[in-house]
Amino acid sequence: MKLLFLGTSAGRPTAHRNVTSIALVFPEDQNRFWLFDAGEGTQHQLLRSKLKLGKLNRIFITHMHGDHVYGLPGILSSRTYYEGAGKLELYGPPGLRAYVESVLRYSEAHLNYELDIHEFEGDGQAFDDGRFRIETGELAHRVRSFGYRIEEHPRSGRLDLAYLASRGAAPGPLYGKLKRGEDIVLPDGSVIRAADAVGPSAKGRIVTILGDTVKCERAARLAKDADLLVHEATFGIGLEEKAALYGHSTFLQAAEIAASAGAKRLVVSHISARYADEDVEALIGHAGAVFPNIEAAYDFKEVCI
């Protein structure tokens, strides 16, 4: 499982950074990915990656500012050309449904797949598919902005293949039963207990992706004990007042949130166009004094989880 940053600029695109979008990519056997935000040009960024729109089955929007949603109509329309793409679930704040339905109506776009739009009013659970649970929390920005906490359910332990071979259990459907915690009976009548053949379950991973926000308690709550936190860092150190005025955070404030939340790793994104690469490196260095495991996102950066 990994994150692919498709856009990392704040407000407007630059020659080197597109506006916000992040893909959560699952292992190939799951054959799917999710998008978090879809700023203008996101589908062009997807074309430069290995991801295919037909494998996209969920989109999560943090807030309705253009640098987070202007790419959405193009993605929805282009997905029609991928045969067998199937149902698409779209999640986001109030206003998302009206925005999408208006664009589709006035552009006379026709989707050949089912689009299910979910709007939420505040904190709570967005969904739980049995493998992942997503919690939303409202942040502090100029418009209603949300963060997403993606919690993976505990994963079943590894099969003890050497033990199974010693018991004469051949690979096949019985292995699946053991992974589900069910005891099995071999052709000779002997029983293999799942507790003996499967190792301890692994703790699920936690990924927190926040929309635009000033430094706030809810951001820390959503990021509590996260394996990976993605936090905006629009402004540099010394511009705290400007950041607050526009509803944003600094590099240092993002580091403070990660530290207070007990997150393991922090990637900052949504970086102002005023900062060149060497400026970003310097800001990361300063913020690293507060939270050492911090790094800056850039377009097409991959982060394994």
Question: Annotated catalytic sites, by residue?
Answer: 67
- Torsion angle defined by CA atoms of residues 281, 212, 92 and 108, in that order, rounded to the nearest 10 degrees: -80
160 is in an annotated binding site: no
- Angle of helix 277-287 relative to helix 251-261, nearest 10 degrees, comes to 40
Residue 212 annotated as part of some ligand binding site: yes
153 is in an annotated binding site: no
Cβ(267)–Cβ(6) below 8 Å: no
Asked if 171 and 208 touch (Cβ cutoff 8 Å), the reply is no
Per-residue CA distances from 153 to 115, 192, 227 (Å): 26, 25, 14
**How many Cβ atoms from other residues are within 10 Å of residue 278's Cβ?**
8
Amino acid, res. 62: T
141 annotated as belonging to a binding site for a ligand: yes
- Determine whether the annotation assigns residue 67 to a binding site: yes
> What ranges in the chain are assigned the alpha helix state H?
42-47, 66-69, 72-78, 96-106, 161-166, 173-179, 194-197, 217-222, 240-245, 251-261, 277-287
What are the binding residues for Zn(2+)?
63, 65, 67-68, 141, 212, 270
